[in-house]
Amino acid sequence: MSKKPRLGFIGVGMMGQIAHLANYARLRDEGECEIVGITDLKPLLARAVAEKYHVPRIYENATELLQDPSIDAVVCIQQWPNNYALVKQILLAGKSVMTEKPMVGRLDEAQELVALAQEKGVLYAVGFMKRYDAGVEVAKHLFEEFRHNGELGNLLEVDAVCDGGDWIQNAGAPVIADDPTPLPPLQPTYPDRCTTPEQRAAYGYLVNIFAHTVNFCHHFLGKEMRVYAAQFRRDRGMQSLLRSDDVLVTVHGATSASHEWREYTTFNFERGHLMVKTPVPLNRQQSARVYLTRPGEQGFVTTEYHAPVDWAFFREAQGFVRALAGNVPLRAPAETCLWDVRVMEQIIDIAEVI
């Protein structure tokens, strides 16, 4: 691997542009990577995006891009049902890859891809950008410190909520080309016992929204959770009860037309708590807010920690480029995301969907 990774992009739709290519273009302009070329099933869109971001080459399709030996790694930003087939193609071509979350629809697919990446000796990153959030970094430090120094007592319970409303919040519009090329229908795959339309709608909701929440809990707890109960209001609301050793975990939330995005995780210890409020995904101007409550001299005291203002998606792109250059490990490597896929399979397996 050269010190300046050379990247190709497969898929430059909305997230591909706003949350990914735009950040890699900034890193290219700062001298950290090169962008060799892009491809999209919509050729007019690819052309317009290449022009906007000064990308020198447009490939006819993914196969042509993957045949280019000058590309080290591919940023492949797709609707999740495409991930399995495309990531497999990319890994077979011997290139490192980053995709959005969720990883894939089934655990056996995820395991196969992780094994393939290991066999090929390439990096496989999944887009859990919250792990790169500057406020989450602060919270993780505090969590480790207080979990080990005993000042707050044992960790009893984790409450992870994602009540999603407007997740875009004036992020700016992507390039939209008037490209009539029809896209092939998506072909999602599901766990074996996820067969009814209601279950599949619930599973889509789970892997789209709560993949983040489940991954976040695993990131802090450092151990895979087990699932004990779950209920869905189809694809509008869900609650699930999990456990990691003796720590109780609740993951829940609802989707509404609210102007807000209320996402927070509280780690409840015997003598205090740590709360992390993670921001709206496309807000570039906000890191997670972190509040620690613990005993003071005159009652409990809450301290708010202010991490630097930054955007988790930019830091994620930086993390991928630096990992490709061999400088740092990935923070959300695919092998750690196997836990999430397994837990989400267990959730839908056990869930009542109403």
Shortest distance, CB of residue 25 to ligand NAD, whole angstroms? 16
78 binds ligand NAD (CB under 6 A): yes
16 binds ligand NAD (CB under 6 A): yes
Q: Name the segment binding ligand NAD (CB under 6 A); options: 75-83, 225-233, 263-271, 301-309.
A: 75-83
Shortest distance, CB of residue 16 to ligand NAD, whole angstroms? 5
Shortest distance, CB of residue 254 to ligand NAD, whole angstroms? 17
Q: Of residues 166-205, which lie at the interface with ligand NAD (CB under 6 A)?
A: 183
Using CB under 6 A, pick the residue from 5, 7, 15, 345 that binds ligand NAD: 15
Cβ proximity to ligand NAD: between 128 and 339 the closer is 128
Using CB under 6 A, pick the residue from 21, 62, 214, 276 that binds ligand NAD: 62
Q: Name the segment binding ligand NAD (CB under 6 A); options: 41-49, 155-163, 236-244, 320-328.
A: 41-49
127 binds ligand NAD (CB under 6 A): yes
Shortest distance, CB of residue 76 to ligand NAD, whole angstroms? 8
Secondary structure (H, E, C), the chain: CCCCCEEEEECCCHHHHHHHHHHHHHHHHCCCCEEEEEECCCHHHHHHHHHHCCCCEECCCHHHHHCCCCCCEEEECCCHHHHHHHHHHHHHCCCEEEECCCCCCCHHHHHHHHHHHHHHCCCEEECCHHHHCHHHHHHHHHHHHHHHHCCCCCEEEEEEEEEECCCCCCCCCCCCCCCCCCCCCCCCCCCCCCCCHHHHHHHHHHHHHHHHHHHHHHHHHCCCCEEEEEEEECCCEEEEEEEECCEEEEEEEEECCCCCCEEEEEEEECCEEEEEECCCCCCCCCCCEEEEEEEECCEEEEEEECCCCCCHHHHHHHHHHHHHCCCCCCCCEHHHHHHHHHHHHHHHHHCEEC
Q: Of residues 291-350, which lie at the interface with ligand NAD (CB under 6 A)?
A: none
41 binds ligand NAD (CB under 6 A): yes
Site for ligand NAD (CB under 6 A): how many residues?
Answer: 25
11 binds ligand NAD (CB under 6 A): yes
272 with 210: CB under 8 angstroms?
no
Beta bridge partners of 76: 10, 99
Cβ proximity to ligand NAD: between 13 and 191 the closer is 13
Using CB under 6 A, pick the residue from 23, 281, 323, 341 that binds ligand NAD: 281
Q: Of residues 249-278, which lie at the interface with ligand NAD (CB under 6 A)?
A: none
Shortest distance, CB of residue 101 to ligand NAD, whole angstroms? 6
80 binds ligand NAD (CB under 6 A): yes
Residues near ligand NAD (CB under 6 A) are 10-11, 13-16, 39-42, 45, 62, 77-80, 82, 86, 100-101, 127, 129, 183, 208, 281
